[in-house]
Amino acid sequence: MTEVQFHFNVPDRLLYACRLLRKALRSGAAGVAVSGPGDTLGRLDRTLWTFEPQEFIPHVLLRGGETLAPRLRRTPIWLVERAELAAHHPVLVHLGEEPAAGFESFGRLIEIVSTDDDERAAARRRWKHYAGRGYAIQKFEVGAQA
């Protein structure tokens, strides 16, 4: 069963996602997918290129309807609008408002939630969705640590 984690009170979701992806890469994770709306993924793509000037975080942005070139398939981090496009990765980081379709095919799901009231309300709905399907949920309070 998928391990579900919520990281709450994140001051900047994109920077936090970058640090989380860097940590996964450094730990040798077999692959991480990030799902969410196209505009959010576009901003994350740009942030991944600029957040650490001396470091490269290999990733690929796969827009809806695109197919990935065979030479890019081994890229460890995929940014996808639909999670099922990267279901072969063990970890899914979700930045969308609605529950991630197909999340159950991943070993771990990580939801990143900022301090924004609308975002927190959407996170509560996602929490209820996962809990209502019998998933045990781990909660992490990030706050000033991020």
Model pLDDT, residue 134: 97
Model pLDDT, residue 143: 75
User: What's the length of the chain?
Assistant: 146
pLDDT 10s digits, 47-90: 999 988 888 899 999 987 788 889 999 999 999 999 988 888 99
- CATH 1.20.1250.20 is held by the domain 3-66+74-145: no
Mean pLDDT of the chain: 93
Model pLDDT, residue 144: 55
The Cα 40–Cα 29 span in angstroms is: 23
Query: In percent, how much of the chain has pLDDT > 70?
Result: 98
> Residue 100: what residue type?
A
Model pLDDT, residue 47: 95
Sequence ranges of the domains in the chain: 3-66+74-145
What confidence category does residue 43 fall into, taking pLDDT thresholds of 50, 70 and 90?
very high
Task: Give the pLDDT mean for 7-20.
Answer: 96
Q: Do residues 77 and 21 touch, judged by C-beta distance below 8 A?
A: yes
Number of H helices, E strands in the chain: 3, 7
Model pLDDT, residue 66: 83
Model pLDDT, residue 145: 57
What confidence category does residue 17 fall into, taking pLDDT thresholds of 50, 70 and 90?
very high
